[in-house]
Every structure is written in structure tokens, then in C-alpha cells.
Amino acid sequence: MHEYDLSDAIWRKSTYSNGDGGNCIEVAAGVPGVVPVRDSKVGGGPVIVVGSAAWTEFVRTVGAARFLARVVPPRPE
């Protein structure tokens, strides 16, 4: 298992997050090849490290799903 020094990491969360910080994640930039992810409510807690390519694809897929949810009406059951 690889360990990353995140002591100087600058964490950020979505601008869509409300002021009380509930139900949100934070990501840190500046770690080559990976994107560290953590729960915003547990700043000193565990961190999941995701490969940069996988993170990019995840964000792209979530964005596409949100877009489709707005333009494509749900099918009746």
C-alpha cells in the first residue's frame, strides 16, 4: 500500500455544499497521479485515494447523469 503525505494538502468541497458542511466530500489537488477524497465532517479521518483518470471519469459520468436527469423525462412504469 502506498502512503501519501497530505499534511500540506489544500482541501476543497463543492460550491453546492451548504454552510453546515453536511453530506459532502472534500478533494485535494496537488498530489501527482491521484485525487485524495475525504468526508467533510471528519477532516482528520480516513482518506480514499483515487487515480486521477478514474476520478475524471467518475466526475464526467456523474455530470452526464445529472444532465440527462434534467432533459430526459423518466419512463412510466
Cα gap 60→49, rounded to integer Å: 18
User: Please, is 17 exposed, middle or buried when counting C-beta atoms within 10 Å of its C-beta (0-12, 13-18, 19+)?
Assistant: middle
Which pLDDT does position 44 carry in this prediction?
85
Whether this prediction's pTM lies above 0.75 is answered by: no
Which pLDDT does position 74 carry in this prediction?
64
Profile the chain (77 residues) by mean pLDDT over runs of 10 residues.
86 76 82 92 89 92 73 66
Which pLDDT does position 51 carry in this prediction?
96
Which pLDDT does position 62 carry in this prediction?
84
Cα gap 50→52, rounded to integer Å: 6
Which pLDDT does position 56 carry in this prediction?
92
C-alpha cell recorded at residue 30: 496537488
